[in-house]
Amino acid sequence: MIKLLKCEYRKTKGRYIFLTALLVTAVQIVWALYGKYTDTVLMNGWMTFLYQLPLVNAIFLPLLSIIVSSRLCDIEHKGVIFKQLSVISEKGKIFDAKFIYGVSIVIFCNIISWASTIIFGYIIGFSSDVPINLYLLYLLFTIAPTVAVYIFQHTLSMLFKNQAVTFFAGIIGTFCGLFSMFLPNIPLLRKLFIWGYYGVLQFVGMFGWTKETRMADVYFAVMDIDWLFFAILIAASVVMYIIGRILFCRKEV
């Protein structure tokens, strides 16, 4: 496995995959943090981020997964390298190695985005100390759906030579996830799509907003966490990975 991971690094060294992932993350950070920070926002800054960031994640993190998984597999499909690799190693190990390498990049970018949010909060002058327990929980609920989405994208990228299939499937899934997040009155809808779990696992709500008072009476509160569907997401991720691995092992390369 270590040799396969080293092989992945050497093959992708000149393709700037990690740099591309960092650029996407940089755009995500700027998008998430840009805005007008009034006294009200500064007072509720930490909780405001926990309320707003899941929607930003639902846009950028699936895109990040599409880009990383597609670029990692594109070189093998173009050069028929999967057939050569399967001679010296088991297909299952090849699937595992590419997944570990790609998901590590994505998770690292998640952590960078998370840390940048906290650092920005301190710099801009948010009131009170950062609720680190809530932010660690937020990190967990960001990584979990991202890994699930990456497993889906990784499987498609490994199975289909034409990476346009991976791209369009990911875009459609992202749209479905975003659409479900804008329909809070139909919570079951977002639970049907792994891309919607950024909203399912959102645990901070905004209350008190009206057209007349707007942000004047707004307050944020921690809501009940849906641990059942968190467990379902983890189980679904494991099942998707096993199915994807089996399909790749049976595929003619």
Residue 138: which of 193, 201, 55 has the closest Cα?
A: 201
Q: Is the pLDDT of residue 182 over 90?
A: no
Residue 117 phi, psi dihedral angles, 5° rounding: -65, -45
Q: How far is CA 25 from CA 1, 18, 116, in A?
A: 28, 11, 10
Residue 217's pLDDT is 63
The H-or-E segment that residue 205 falls in is strand 204-207
Q: Residue 49 sits in which domain range?
A: 2-250
Per-residue pLDDT reduced to its tens digit, 192-227: 889 999 988 988 877 766 665 565 566 777 888 889
Q: Is the pLDDT of residue 74 over 90?
A: no
Number of domains in the chain: 1
| Of 109-118, 154-163, 237-246, minimum mean pLDDT range | 154-163
| Of 25-34, 81-90, 133-142, 186-195, minimum mean pLDDT range | 81-90
Q: Is the pTM of the predicted complex or chain greater than 0.85?
A: yes
Per-residue pLDDT reduced to its tens digit, 137-177: 999 999 999 999 999 999 999 888 888 888 999 999 999 88
Residue 79's pLDDT is 61
Alpha-carbon distance of 91 to 58, in angstroms, equals 32
Alpha-carbon distance of 74 to 11, in angstroms, equals 11
Residue 249: which of 93, 25, 62, 87 has the closest Cα?
A: 93
Q: Which of 44-53, 70-79, 84-93, 151-160 has the highest mean pLDDT?
A: 151-160
Residue 223's pLDDT is 86
